Amino acid sequence: MSEEMFPEPEWLSEEVKTGTTIIAVTFDGGVVLGSDSRVSAGESVVNRVMNKLSPLHDKIYCALSGSAADAQTIAEIVNYQLDVHSIEVEDDPLVCSAATLVKNISYKYKEELSAHLIVAGWDRKKGGQVYATLNGLLSRQPFAIGGSGSFYIHGFVDAEYRKNMTKRESQEFVVNALTLAMGRDGSSGGVAYVVTIDKDGAEEKCILGNELPRFFDQ
Amino acid sequence: MATALQFPANVSTLNNYNDLYPDWTQREVSTGTTIMAVEFDGGVVIGADSRTTTGAYIANRVTDKLTPIHDRIFCCRSGSAADTQAIADAVTYQLGFHSIELDEAPLIQTAASLFRDMCYRYREELMAGIIVAGWDKRRGGQVYTVPVGGMMTRQPVSVGGSGSSYIYGYVDSNYKTGMTKEECLKFTAEALTLAMERDGSSGGVVRLAVISEQGVERQVILGNQLPKFSTV
């Protein structure tokens, strides 16, 4: 009777997930990636400032969502594989190569893993690119959203995305999308991390909660 | 998906949710829909898609989910088609009776309370998410939402149904207080279009209605006349 009255807290037995909202957008000359910073285990937030934008190479980043352990491991493995590859070809790797490496792992172990990575970056051959690698597919897209919070902003990004935005507009678009998703999704929140990648390199920025844009709050 | 084990009610069950889908999709019956209602100064604008599905088959592609309850009170129905039709019929009767007793037009809040009473009392048996909207003399245009479970709250703008989750971001960012009737119509049509593009259980045509002191104006926007967005 007593163990039923006071059950063990859920989060001790829950897998740690990055609930998450992630987004990546191309603009003319590069890409902008964005993510929230909440990691949850059941109903408990175990990390409120996690940076889910993980570098795979100098000008290639990936955004993590799903199981925190799975996503981090995939990112680390691909980081290593890309380093080896770039030494072999004596040049910066292509974004497509990074995305293919991620896709290969996601597809081969799709039954065991539950992580969705969005790969985005800049290379000399094709400029800014965004690849979605959900469940082992590989799809190049003008922009991609992922994570549990992304459901709430499908309508917003469909309506507001325009081709050939400037760097500034893309950054605003990403921050607005993240803010709206964090406002509605219980598993997303904290601060917003934004990474802008162009031919000159990658620039990381962290936007605190009180600096995020405000929308009409019902 | 959810396992079939029985747990005592006060022990939390292990959440087996696939992280690609939000938890609530396993609890809400998606008989598919997107409904929306917006208040403006002088009335309300309500809108809905027109698809009724049984599984993957579209049973009715031109459904009218905007149901009159009284002269200037409508409800938008989402959830089980049978449940919502039955509830709407019952409330229409009760409200009509009440209005005769009062000898004047009933309040929107009264209609919403009647929906809430029924949805709460029979919450275990019903699956109904209803938005009640209309115009009355005392408070002008009002929107009340009665989601699954039977709570009731008044909101300036409310969305409901399986397609609504895709447009929360759009509605949050585009709603402004003090919009005119035309702006509300455009806002509702665009939001419903975006939801219909993303939700497999919503689609067809967009039905709109404007309720104000002057009465009710209804319109239909056909598939090829829907607003277009660059990526869809």
Q: What is the mean pLDDT of chain A?
A: 90
- Selecting from B8, B15, B166 the residue whose C-beta is nearest the C-beta of A151 gives B166
The predicted-structure confidence for A59-84, as pLDDT tens digits, reads as follows 999 999 988 899 999 999 999 999 99
pLDDT in tens, A16-61: 665 789 999 999 999 999 999 998 887 888 889 999 999 999 999 9
Residues of B in contact with A14 (CB under 8 A): 14-15
User: What DSSP designation does A115 have?
Assistant: B
In this predicted structure, the answer to whether residue A135 has a pLDDT above a threshold of 90 is no
pLDDT band, residue A9 (cuts 50/70/90): low
Return the percent helix, strand and coil in chain B, to nearest 5.
30, 30, 40
Query: Which residues of chain A neighbour B155 with C-beta distances below 8 Å?
Result: 218
- Reported confidence tier of residue B231, pLDDT bands at 50, 70, 90: low
Q: B168, B176, B183, B187: which to substitute to probe chain A, counting the most A Cβ within 10 Å? A: B168
Q: What is the pLDDT of residues B204-214, one digit of tens each?
A: 999 999 999 99
Cα distances (Å, whole numbers) of residue B20 to A36, A46, A151: 16, 20, 10
User: Closest approach of chain B CAs to the CA of A91, in angstroms?
Assistant: 34
> Which SS3 state, helix, strand or coil, does residue A154 take?
helix
Residue B181 CA to residue A82 CA, distance in Å, equals 56
Which band of pLDDT confidence, cut at 50, 70 and 90, is reported for residue A100?
Answer: very high
Q: Which residue has the higher pLDDT, B123 or A15?
A: B123
pLDDT at B28 over 60: no
d(CA A39, CA A15) in angstroms, rounded, equals: 11
Interface residue ranges in chain A relative to chain B, Cβ cutoff 8 Å: 4-5, 7, 10, 13-14, 17, 19, 42, 65-67, 114, 116, 134-135, 142, 148, 151-163, 176-177, 180-181, 183-185, 215-218
Of A47, A67, A64, A198, which is closest to residue A121 (Cα–Cα)?
Answer: A198
Read off the pTM: 0.80
Q: How many residues belong to chain A?
A: 218
Residue pLDDT, tens place only, A165-211: 999 999 999 999 999 999 998 888 899 999 999 999 999 999 998 88
Q: How many CB pairs under 8 A join A and B?
A: 103
DSSP-derived pairing of the beta strands A22-27 and A143-146: antiparallel
Whether ipTM tops 0.85, in short, is: no
Burial B95-104 (b: 16+ CB within 10 A, else e): beeebeeeee
Cβ within 8 Å of residue B59, ≥6 positions away? B52, B53
Query: How many Cβ atoms sit within 10 Å of the Cβ of residue A135?
Result: 14
Which tens digit of pLDDT belongs to each residue from B126-166?
Answer: 999 999 999 999 999 999 999 999 999 999 999 999 999 99
